[in-house]
């Protein structure tokens, strides 16, 4: 097995990492990557049944892991995840606020209030509540790293995705504000902004009437200079780098992982 300790950019030995939305997609892959690089893990997801096999796989690989059913729209649940890290591992070095949802594709005038509110309950409150409690512990222990998962829809417009885009813009605003507020406490806060990537959110998306998922994916891919959608592993590699303790002077950034879309 590769010895990641040879490179400080890849070495997470002794670090404690919290990941929300860890039952699938970016969250599950990131848990595997950080675990095999030496991190102890605290994992949460509203899908408790989906979280169990992720935990079992990590435990079988010798990774120290704690898990909790977590609805990130609940401040109580977000606080409980941080408490779980403190009680079991004594600290929290890395927090990844990854949990999120996407609505059906609709023009803005067709979006109802419940859809709009749900996007902000999960995608904005989940980040806000998570950081509120993560920052408190990290400040008290002398530092840490937070990575929030936004989107390319948080850096620009997203046709037929107004509620989602608004929520993901909010994530970047929260990220940059927290980065400035907590830099003097040695806490770094960044965001990652993927283009359409083949996670369950995209492969199982609800498409407009009369279109198939494949047709929508083809349309999305046409908007990328690489003419393809992203692979989850490509985004997770960037997440591993942004969480690295070696990137100690990088904070307040929103990194696009987009196949060149933002270069237009």
Please name each of the domains of the chain with its CATH number.
Answer: 4-195+233-256 (3.40.50.720)
Nearest to 196 by CA among 95, 102, 110: 102
Question: What residues are labeled active site?
Answer: 164
DSSP annotation of 211 reads -
8 A C-beta contact, residue 146 and residue 81: no
What's the rounded Cα separation, in Å, for the pair 171 and 148?
Answer: 7
CB atoms within 10 A of CB 122: 20
CB atoms within 10 A of CB 58: 22
Q: What is the pLDDT, as a whole number, of residue 1?
A: 42
Q: What is the pLDDT, as a whole number, of residue 210?
A: 66
8 A C-beta contact, residue 16 and residue 89: yes
pLDDT tens for the chain, residues 1 to 264 = 455 555 777 899 999 999 999 999 999 999 999 999 999 999 999 999 999 999 999 999 999 999 999 999 999 999 999 999 999 999 999 999 999 998 888 999 999 999 999 999 999 999 999 999 999 999 999 999 999 999 999 999 999 899 999 999 999 999 999 999 999 999 999 999 998 776 766 666 666 666 677 776 776 766 788 787 778 899 999 999 999 999 999 999 999 998 888 888
Q: What is the pLDDT, as a whole number, of residue 123?
A: 98
In DSSP notation, 85-133 reads HHHHHS---EEEE-----PPPB-GGG--HHHHHHHIIIIIHHHHHHHHH
8 A C-beta contact, residue 223 and residue 159: no
Q: What are the phi and psi torsion angles at 62 (to 5°)?
A: 90, 15
Q: What is the pLDDT, as a whole number, of residue 122?
A: 98
Q: Encoding tokens for residue 143?
A: 């530092």
Q: 23-33 burial by CB neighbour count: b if 16+ within 10 A, else e?
A: bbbbbbbbbbb
Q: What is the pLDDT, as a whole number, of residue 117?
A: 97
Give, for 53, the enclosing helix (H) or strand (E).
Answer: helix 48-60
Nearest to 96 by CA among 31, 1, 48, 9: 31
DSSP annotation of 142 reads T
């Amino acid at each position: 097995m590769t010895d990641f300790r040879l490179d400080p950019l890849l070495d997470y030995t002794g670090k404690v990492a919290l990941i929300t939305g860890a039952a699938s997609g970016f969250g599950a892959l990131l848990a595997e990557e950080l675990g095999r690089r030496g991190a102890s893990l605290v994992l949460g997801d509203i899908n408790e049944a989906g979280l169990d096999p992720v935990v079992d796989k990590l435990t079988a690989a010798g990774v120290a892991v704690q898990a909790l059913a977590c609805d990130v729209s609940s401040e109580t649940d977000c606080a409980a995840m941080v408490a779980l890290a403190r009680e079991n591992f004594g600290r929290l070095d890395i927090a990844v606020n990854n949990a999120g949802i996407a609505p059906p594709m609709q023009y803005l005038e067709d979006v109802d209030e419940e859809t709009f509110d749900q996007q902000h309950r999960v995608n904005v409150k989940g980040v806000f509540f998570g950081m509120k409690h993560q920052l408190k512990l990290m400040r008290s222990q002398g530092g840490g790293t937070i990575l929030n998962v936004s989107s390319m829809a948080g850096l620009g417009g997203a046709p037929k995705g107004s509620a989602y885009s608004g929520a993901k813009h909010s994530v970047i605003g929260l990220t940059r504000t927290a980065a400035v507020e907590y830099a003097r406490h040695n806490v770094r806060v960044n965001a990652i902004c993927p283009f359409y990537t083949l996670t369950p959110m995209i492969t199982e998306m609800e498409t407009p009437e009369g279109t198939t998922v494949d047709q929508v994916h083809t349309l999305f891919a046409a908007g990328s200079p690489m003419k393809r959608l992203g692979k989850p592993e490509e985004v997770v590699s960037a997440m591993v780098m942004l969480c690295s303790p070696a990137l100690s002077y990088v904070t307040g950034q929103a990194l696009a992982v987009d196949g060149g879309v933002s270069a237009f």
